[in-house]
Amino acid sequence: MVCLTCNYFVNLTCQTFMTSNEFSYYRKKLGKTQKSLAGLLGVSIKAVQSYEQGWRSVPLHIERKVYFLLVNRRRNSSGKKKDCWTLTKCDCKKECPAWEFQAGHLCWFLNGTLCACTAGQEGKEKMEICRTCEVLTSQL
């Protein structure tokens, strides 16, 4: 099935959370032009313009890619990103995919994590919670 929002092949219609203002802000924070961000996200320049103008909703998979770019960009500081199991004092970290793949700073990006607040949540519901979680917000 093709998503009506972004023409991306998906099983369900894309869900959106990121606003056009947030999308534009994060693009500028990355120091990217609309053209260069479009290339990184694998979308057209028109899609980026449409997201920023609010003509099209920002699909969930694009929102996650933007966060991924923000979290993993090179910075002048050499501070290590804190893992989710440290920040949340997790009791079940050894059974969690974030622990298995040593991706505690990317728990918001992974499905199947065992965080107390997102266990059993996927897609739209998980990102809604993760957007306000200290693990992600501390890195943006």
CA-CA-CA-CA torsion for 25, 29, 31, 35, nearest 10 degrees?
-30
Q: Give 58's pLDDT tier (boundaries 50, 70, 90).
A: very high
DSSP at 16:
-
In one-letter notation, the amino acid at residue 69 is L
Q: Which two tokens stand for residue 22?
A: 């947030």
Q: Where are the domains of the chain?
A: 20-72, 84-137
Q: Which two tokens stand for residue 73?
A: 């960009």
Please name every residue paired with 9 in a beta bridge, in sequence order, or none if there are none.
2
The CATH number of the domain covering residues in 20-72:
1.10.260.40
Could you tell me how many residues make up the chain? 140
Query: What is the rounded CA–CA span in Å between residue 75 and residue 136?
Result: 16
pLDDT digits (tens, 9 = 90+) for 88-137: 888 888 888 888 878 888 888 887 888 877 777 777 788 888 888 888 88
- Does residue 18 have a pLDDT over 80? yes
pTM score above 0.85: no
Residue 78 confidence (pLDDT):
55
Query: What is the rounded CA–CA span in Å between residue 4 and residue 105?
Result: 32
Average pLDDT, the chain: 81
